[in-house]
Amino acid sequence: MAQVAHPVSLDAAVSVVPGSLRLRRALNRWGWRGFLLIVFLALFGPLAILIAFSFNDSTILAFPFQGVTLKWYSAALQDPTLRQALLNSFVVACIVAPLCLVLGTLAAFGLTRFRFRGRGSIGALVGAPLVLPWLIIGIAALMGYAKANIDLSLRTVIATQVICTFPLVTAIVAAQLFRFQRVQEEAAIDLGCSRMQVLRHIILPHIAPALAAAGIFAFTWSFNNYEISAFTIGFQQTFPIWVYSSVRNPDHTAVVNAISALISVVQVGLIYLAVRLLRTRGGSGALVLTERAPTAEQGAA
């Protein structure tokens, strides 16, 4: 005898399905929150510990604290060797960042706007410093300078860092150029703009956030670089080299904590600014063609 299926009420079905969906969504939400919390602790936990021990009135990195003091910050700022190392790193970064910004932007334009034979090989060659370990690059640079009888100094540090840093700028600017709508450029040319006007009023406003972010990243990469600087600097010191040589002395540990906390806070702020700039819509600064584009007679003039 055939069995008759009992009808399921609509209210019961509606009450069961949303409950399971809510449970699944809650598990996904709390799972992502837990994952992000672990990543946040892994990234910023050591920085928080570093800042906390920079206020400890003791050179021993252990709990409990002996007291709260600011003397390590004062001692760090009064150290002439540290000040010279900071100055060297700042000078190197201020030279490396603009050079990388120019070279990286030109390379990005060449790789994204032109089609030529060997384009893929050149792109791979430009991106190679992003893949190769900086330790190998530093050793290779040291051997190259020795074979060429070039004395090691801040100039050799700058030259080697430029080679390793400008591919980062190329990657950031090229990603922004790939999102650029060429129809804006073509419309400006049709309305009478010259190539320089298109570059100034159309392309540069679009990639300006990427340029600013790339400059910040290039500055921080250069300032924090240890491997290349250690092999190519000679008898001078940059800030990472000073930290490595000072942290092995227990009496300087607290001073290293203090100055590292200051530098870390500043650089975290710069990186956050760079990320915000990368998230800025480049199209918002583009030229309004109907307002700024010259007429054909003005373009000819």
The answer to whether 216 and 271 have CB atoms below 8 angstroms apart is: yes
Does the pLDDT at position 294 exceed 70?
Answer: no
Q: How far is CA 289 from the centre of its chain?
A: 33
The answer to whether 210 and 172 have CB atoms below 8 angstroms apart is: yes
- Cα dihedral 250→42→228→78 (10° resolution): -40
In whole angstroms, what is the distance from residue 232 CA to residue 156 CA? 6
**Six token digits for residue 299:** 């373009």
Does the pLDDT at position 1 exceed 50?
Answer: no
List domains and CATH numbers for the chain.
74-300 (1.10.3720.10)
The answer to whether 247 and 253 have CB atoms below 8 angstroms apart is: yes
Does the pLDDT at position 12 exceed 60?
Answer: no
State residue 90's pLDDT score: 92
In this prediction, residue 280 has a pLDDT band, given cuts at 50, 70 and 90, of low
Residues with Cβ within 8 Å of residue 1, at least 6 apart in sequence: none
Tell me how crowded residue 152 is: count the other CB atoms within 10 A of its CB.
17
In this prediction, residue 45 has a pLDDT band, given cuts at 50, 70 and 90, of confident
Percentage with pLDDT > 90 across the chain: 16
pLDDT tens for 199-255 read 777 777 778 888 888 888 899 889 989 989 989 988 888 989 988 888 777 777 788
In this prediction, residue 52 has a pLDDT band, given cuts at 50, 70 and 90, of confident
Q: How far is CA 37 from the centre of its chain?
A: 22
Does the pLDDT at position 172 exceed 80?
Answer: yes
In this prediction, residue 189 has a pLDDT band, given cuts at 50, 70 and 90, of low
Percentage with pLDDT > 70 across the chain: 81
State residue 301's pLDDT score: 40
Average pLDDT, the chain: 78
Q: Which residue has the higher pLDDT, 66 or 209?
A: 209
**Six token digits for residue 68:** 């709260």
In whole angstroms, what is the distance from residue 290 CA to residue 286 CA? 12
Does the pLDDT at position 148 exceed 80?
Answer: yes
In whole angstroms, what is the distance from residue 129 CA to residue 140 CA? 12
User: The whole model's pTM is what?
Assistant: 0.74
pLDDT tens for 100-131 read 999 999 888 888 877 778 777 888 888 888 88
